[in-house]
Amino acid sequence: MAAFGELLKASRKKAGKTARVTAIEAGMQPSNYCRLEYGTLRPPQAKPKLDRLADAVGILPNTPERTSFYDLAATANHSIPMDLAEIISTDDAIPLMLRTLGKKKLTKRQIDEIVKLVRGKSD
């Protein structure tokens, strides 16, 4: 959880805000916000709450920073990142594909090749 808290604190400081102001903007008690930064409270799991928190610390939507924010929150909660959960739930074939790939024990190179194929790039 420390990595999530570190990102939260660094983003807040970059935005030039105090923890108290950030907590209020995020709709949280200041004490709970501080516990998030220190890694003693798990991040919210609901996407609207995560988005409100990210907005409060100045992490813009649809950026690599927002993706990292979701990833670190999910890691702290031992769950799938919110944006990926939404993608997975859109098509019944996606969970099947992921389970199939998970059983194959693919190498990093094989995974990179699959990513290239999906993105429409070839060597």
Q: Is residue 40 domain-shared with residue 100, that is, in the same domain?
A: no
Q: Is residue 96 domain-shared with residue 75, that is, in the same domain?
A: no
Task: Report the C-alpha gap between 85 and 71 in whole angstroms.
Answer: 11
pLDDT band at 123 (very low <50, low <70, confident <90, very high): low
Q: Is residue 69 domain-shared with residue 99, that is, in the same domain?
A: no
Q: Is residue 18 domain-shared with residue 76, that is, in the same domain?
A: yes
Count CB neighbours of 23 within 10 A. Answer: 22
- Tell me the residue range of the domain where 96 lies: 91-119
Q: Is residue 82 domain-shared with residue 25, that is, in the same domain?
A: yes
Q: Which residue has the higher pLDDT, 92 or 30?
A: 30
What percent of the chain has pLDDT above 90? 61
How many distinct structural domains can be found in the chain? Answer: 2
- Tell which residue, 50, 55, 1, has the closest CA to residue 25: 55
Q: Is residue 49 domain-shared with residue 98, that is, in the same domain?
A: no
Task: Determine the pLDDT at residue 17.
Answer: 97
pLDDT band at 56 (very low <50, low <70, confident <90, very high): very high
| Range scoring the smallest mean pLDDT among 46-55, 66-75, 85-94 | 85-94
Our separate counts of H helices and E strands in the chain read: 8, 0
Model pLDDT for residues 97-122, shown as the tens digit of each residue: 888 888 888 888 988 888 888 888 65
Q: Is residue 20 domain-shared with residue 74, that is, in the same domain?
A: yes
